[in-house]
Chain A
């Protein structure tokens, strides 16, 4: 493994190195979001079936992608933290959880807002909606366990095991929910049934997905830096970092 990887696992190095990264990623995310939203709300044509209200996909779909990505990221960093006892990985996992939960909530909220004009109801027990709701519960359980244990190392390890159990269970949950929903009700709802999405709609969507990903990375780095600082507050480097930052 390259040397920079080993260096990144040192809290002081991570803390100082990630400061400009967080700033740049945040700026890139903001720029991509402005351009993406302009493309999504102004340039992209209205859908021939759903009219203007389809435009919520530009928030809904990237948020749904990020909700799954954040969980896999969280479980991966939690596993790294469990196996190699790397503090930075533990902090990354802990910082990713509220972000992932927020994306999951955003997915559910925008889906609900979209469902009202399209399906005539705020909520249906559709397979995808139910899986997403259960994903939110998994995030909640992870965060609850992480904050219930006082010792941060033990909290990170216990919730890391939970994240791994969750990641093994997510496919089982997903397919069982799919089986259940097809058993109980036919596919009365078709989502985005157009097989190929037109380029003028796709480009803003990809831009928004890029903006969401960079936003996730930027906020993740910020949160992880503060998490490291608060965990290491008794060490020399943390005291120095705080002294240097305060005027």
Chain B
């Protein structure tokens, strides 16, 4: 008798997605390479003045993270949609929202975690004060789940549309604004030596809110796209 409990279904989807990513590691490297390259463009475009770069560093890194998240979201359901796996997940006895949460967790581990790990390097490039780097990483760690959740809603809704990429950005970017404001704002405050616990707690609240509700909206969007 196979185990049909929600917990084991969650674990099965998580392990499957992680294994798929592990077998094509190149795909997972794209978002982080994108982040590094976009960040590297800014010193080239506006000059290598230390003060200017340090001043705009949190904003640049956060905007680059946003764009990189949009880029990776375009593919989060695409392959499973095309080969029919999503339909099987939608028919499975476990709640679709839970399975989506597992998929998003795997996606976050593969695409967002490397962004957080590489952010100290970018911060040093941009002459961001080293003492504020832990705060920057904390804002990214607390903010990127929101990006994944909200981006997944847009990805689910644009799944049936052929040219989804630009549309996905159009739908998701306005919804990303609160995370950008608090994430970049907190990193900025940390660089000036201010306390960041307030904005970090708000980011944490947004993450909890998104983890709770976004999978339900994603499930609704996927069911519409699968129709």
Q: State the A residues within 8 Å of B (CB).
A: 134, 137-138, 140-141, 144-145, 148-149, 154, 157-159, 161-162, 164-166, 168-169, 172-173, 176-177, 179-180, 183
Hey, which chain A residues are within 8 Å of B175, CB to CB? 165-166, 169, 173
Assembly CA distance A161 to B152 (angstroms): 13
Residue of A nearest to B169 (CB): A141
Which 10 residue pairs are nearest across A and B when measured between Cβ atoms? A176-B178, A137-B174, A180-B181, A141-B171, A148-B161, A158-B157, A176-B181, A157-B224, A158-B224, A141-B170
Q: How many residues of B contact A (CB 8 A)?
A: 27
Q: Which of B160, B173, B174 contacts A154 (CB 8 A)?
A: B160
Hey, which chain A residues are within 8 Å of B157, CB to CB? 145, 158-159, 161-162
Residue of A nearest to B162 (CB): A148
Residue of A nearest to B213 (CB): A168
- Apart from the given pairs A137-B173, A145-B161, 15 other A-B contacts in the complex at a CB distance below 8 Å: A141-B170, A141-B171, A141-B174, A148-B167, A149-B160, A154-B227, A158-B157, A158-B160, A158-B221, A162-B171, A164-B217, A165-B153, A166-B175, A177-B181, A179-B182
Q: Which of B173, B177, B225 contacts A158 (CB 8 A)?
A: B225
Q: Does B31 reach chain A (CB closer than 8 Å)?
A: no
* CB of A58, distance to nearest CB on chain B (Å): 29
Assembly CA distance A168 to B157 (angstroms): 17
A173 near B178: Cβ-Cβ < 8 Å: yes
* CB of B64, distance to nearest CB on chain A (Å): 19
> 19 A-B Cβ contacts within 8 A?
A138-B174, A141-B174, A148-B161, A148-B167, A157-B224, A158-B157, A158-B225, A161-B157, A161-B220, A161-B224, A162-B153, A166-B175, A168-B213, A173-B174, A176-B177, A176-B178, A176-B182, A177-B181, A179-B185
In the complex, chain B residues 121-162 whose Cβ is within 8 Å of any chain A Cβ: 150, 153-154, 157-158, 160-161
B177 near A177: Cβ-Cβ < 8 Å: yes
Q: Contacts A161-B221, A161-B224: A149 and B177 contacting too (C-beta < 8 A)?
A: no
